[in-house]
Amino acid sequence: MRSEAPPLLPIFRSRAQADLLTLLLLHPERDYTVTEVASRLGLPLTTLHREAQRLVDADLLVGRTVGRSRLLRANTGHRAFGPLQQLLTVTFGPHTVVADEFAGLERVDLVLIYGSWARRYDGETGPMPQDLDVLVVGRPDRASVYEAAERAEQRLGFAVNPTIRSVQRWRDAGDALVEQVKSSPTVTVIDRDQPAERGEP
């Protein structure tokens, strides 16, 4: 079943196609198995196979088989690679960039994107977001959070606004921002099983 063109950038035939291109073009140095990509993007294998084959046929991706695994990689030699990578970074790439830059933070349970970008990613139409709202749940070092946000900002080319909340404030009612975030579309970037240390940020 074909999904609708994504509101963030409706030139793509589907969000599945845009997400696949984003993952591979923003990490052009590595190969991904089809199973790994399907799991990371939450796509059925049949859908992923179809989208991947279209992009391999268009020479935007390189596919190869090793043993029983089908591997996919961005074709960095394609003349559209650079412009397409830049376009994907500023439209569909924020969650991938935030995942890269915030991955090293310690004492963090959850990192998610909320606000206008998350609403567009969820399918709500509207103008292109001009910044990115990121919520970090746990007890990370504040300076490290802002450094990660600055690195993400440099890669994306627009403002990244981090907010920190403790696990307790995230779980308890009464925090206006938390209630707003929980009642709106969000994109989970990092979700760790081990609980972060409790306490107020």
- The enclosing domain of 26 has a CATH number of 1.10.10.10
- 19 and 92 in contact (C-beta within 8 Å)? yes
Number of structural domains the chain divides into: 2
Q: Read off the tokens for 30.
A: 């590595």
- What is the number of alpha carbons within 13 Å of residue 90 lying toward its C-beta? 13
Of 61, 90, 119, the one marking the end of a domain is 90
Q: Are residues 117 and 140 in the same domain?
A: yes
Q: Are residues 67 and 127 in the same domain?
A: no
- 95 and 113 in contact (C-beta within 8 Å)? yes
Whole-prediction pTM value?
Answer: 0.76
* Residues facing 135 on adjacent strands: 112, 163
pLDDT means over runs of 10, the chain (201 residues): 60 87 92 94 92 94 94 96 90 91 96 95 87 97 98 92 96 92 96 54 43
Q: Are residues 27 and 67 in the same domain?
A: yes
Q: Are residues 115 and 180 in the same domain?
A: yes
Q: Three-state SS for 161? A: strand
Q: Are residues 104 and 186 in the same domain?
A: yes
Domain that holds residue 48: 15-90
Q: What is the pLDDT of residue 67?
A: 94
Of 55, 90, 125, the one marking the end of a domain is 90
Q: What is the pLDDT of residue 99?
A: 94
Q: What is the pLDDT of residue 91?
A: 85
Q: What is the pLDDT of residue 42?
A: 87
